[in-house]
Amino acid sequence: MAHSIAQYTGTRIDSSAKHIVACKVNGKVFERLGNQVKQLTDDKYRYAMQKDELVLSVALMTDEDVVRGADRTFQRTFVKHAYPPVITTLGDKLLDEHKTAIRLHYRNLSFENEDEGIVYNRNGVDHFFPFKFDFVGVSVGTAYASDLTGDPVGSVLIGGMMTVLNGHFPCYTGELVQWYFDFESEEFDPDGKRREPPAVRNPADRHAIRYPIGGREHFYQQRMFGAHADANRGKQNVALIKPFRKIRDRRNYAYGDKVRVIGRIVNGGQPWEPIDIFLSNTFV
């Protein structure tokens, strides 16, 4: 496997042709998921957009709650924003029901039901998850979830070549790259291929994917996100990158993975290593 330019030279790859936009961290996302404003200010870096993180747009939102009947169409609530509303984490209030619903949404997504919302079941009642996600780019600055702690507007690279940290799976030069949430890792085999549903590994059994790379992941979680297990602090429920690969034992790709393709790998690497990617939303 070819090492990345960053590993060979101890530096970061960068391109002269860059496309950067200003985006604003949407603190309302965390408030709707259960966080108090005081938490957004006391643990400001836990919810902030920081350099090198994958940035997701949450402009697609709804005020609907309970799903009525068989219609699961996502009824968008139109809100005017001066800057694209974005997040880099779903915070620490995300329920297990939310995670399961997001995983099922991207596993079962198809062209025909693309307008359906993310639906989770709680106490026997179906609810709409209030947001849908679109990839924006990679953060090149810092912005905060609350304007009480700092500037909520930061810069995001939406096109160009740069060095980012790989996720759970090895990737190779020339492959397409997609984004996924860290809690979706059990949806894929150790080589990055999507598991054949419903044969999904028990979420409690994380060793098959993470061993023997657990040391690098542990280092990454502590140093980049401050996620020390003993303190239960730091960022979690974040977006990562992985190679875009087919469903196990099939010749086709999952549509939920296709719509999350964000670019191409320039120099590959092992899990939790810095790799070089060409970022372009024209791949989506």
Tens of pLDDT, residues 217-247: 766 666 666 655 555 566 889 999 999 999 8
**What is the share, in percent, of the chain residues with pLDDT greater than 70?**
79
pLDDT beyond 80 at 12: no
Q: Amino acid identity of 239? A: A
State yes or no: pLDDT of 14 exceeds 80.
Answer: no
Nearest partner of 156 among 57, 255, 228, judged by Cα: 57
In this predicted model, what pLDDT tens digit does every residue of 88-135 receive, in sequence order? 999 988 999 999 999 999 999 999 888 889 999 888 889 999 999 999
Distance spanning both ends of the chain, measured CA to CA: 26
- Please report, for residues 210, 212, 220, 277, the alpha-carbon distance to residue 228 in angstroms, rounded to integers and kept in the order given: 17, 19, 10, 28
State the pLDDT at residue 75: 87
User: What sections of 181-272 are H helices per DSSP?
Assistant: 207-210, 214-225, 255-258
229-233 contacts, C-beta under 8 A, 24 or more apart:
233/43, 233/46
Rg (CA), the chain: 18
Q: What is the pTM of this model?
A: 0.86
> Which positions ≥6 away from 76 have C-beta within 8 Å?
60, 61, 62
Mean per-residue pLDDT, 5-26 = 74
Of residues 67 and 224, more confidence is placed in 67
